[in-house]
Amino acid sequence: DTGVSQDPRHKITKRGQNVTFRCDPISEHNRLYWYRQTLGQGPEFLTYFQNEAQLEKSRLLSDRFSAERPKGSFSTLEIQRTEQGDSAMYLCASPGQEFGGYTFGSGTRLTVV
Amino acid sequence: GEDVEQSLFLSVREGDSSVINCTYTDSSSTYLYWYKQEPGAGLQLLTYIFSNMDMKQDQRLTVLLNKKDKHLSLRIADTQTGDSAIYFCAEGSSNTGKLIFGQGTTLQVKP
């Protein structure tokens, strides 16, 4: 148990469908980060929140992607009109105050067919 | 821009030491991390070092940081078959907290 929970673990969807992923961070951590990892690559930063405010979005995050963190607790990442290139592992991370305990969830593996 | 480079593959014999190297470009990085990822599994934080430190030791793991050359290394003593995995180096800023990862080094440990 990493302390960061992600749901679902796997998602298979048809191209053009919308998907939504959820992340529940470690409760006392006010920052939450989303990353994407494709096969053979390291994770790439997508966006992050401090409490409910979304403070930075990567250029990787096209307008088909939207993330929210209502009330500064759990976060959702939605992808609209999915494309095959969206197939990846989507990771959520919850660093502690000192950034030493930068913990990742197990991820949601998205396959777009 | 920000970039982190790692060699892609390292093969060692069980019981030997492994040294995985990483170079980074962002001189403002405050934290540097090593993560381990086993096949089909998530990212496991192994260790991290603050940029004002030169070395950190944690049981079989030794991290060396050369800030002048922007070079980070992870030494695993007495490497075991269970250490076979992909190792990722990452740099992070205390301002934003976002991490920039390398491509990962696949460590193969032969019995």
What are the chain A neighbours of B104 within 8 Å (beta carbons)? 40-42
Rounded-to-integer distance, Cα A48 and Cα B97, Å: 9
Give A96-111 as a DSSP string: -TTSSS-EE---EEEE
Rounded-to-integer distance, Cα A26 and Cα B76, Å: 29
Question: DSSP code of B14?
Answer: T
- What's CA B105's distance to the chain center, in Å? 9
Question: DSSP code of A85?
Answer: G
Which of A2, A33, A40 is closest, CB to CB, to B98? A33
B20 vs A: CB within 8 A? no
pLDDT for the residue A100: 65
Cross-strand pairs, B109: B12
CB within 8 Å: A100 and B100: no
pLDDT digits (tens, 9 = 90+) for A69-112: 998 889 999 999 999 999 999 999 988 766 666 789 999 999 99
CB within 8 Å: B100 and A45: yes
pLDDT digits (tens, 9 = 90+) for B49-66: 988 899 999 999 999 999
State both tokens at B17: 């030491």
Q: Which residue of B has its CA nearest to A108?
A: B42
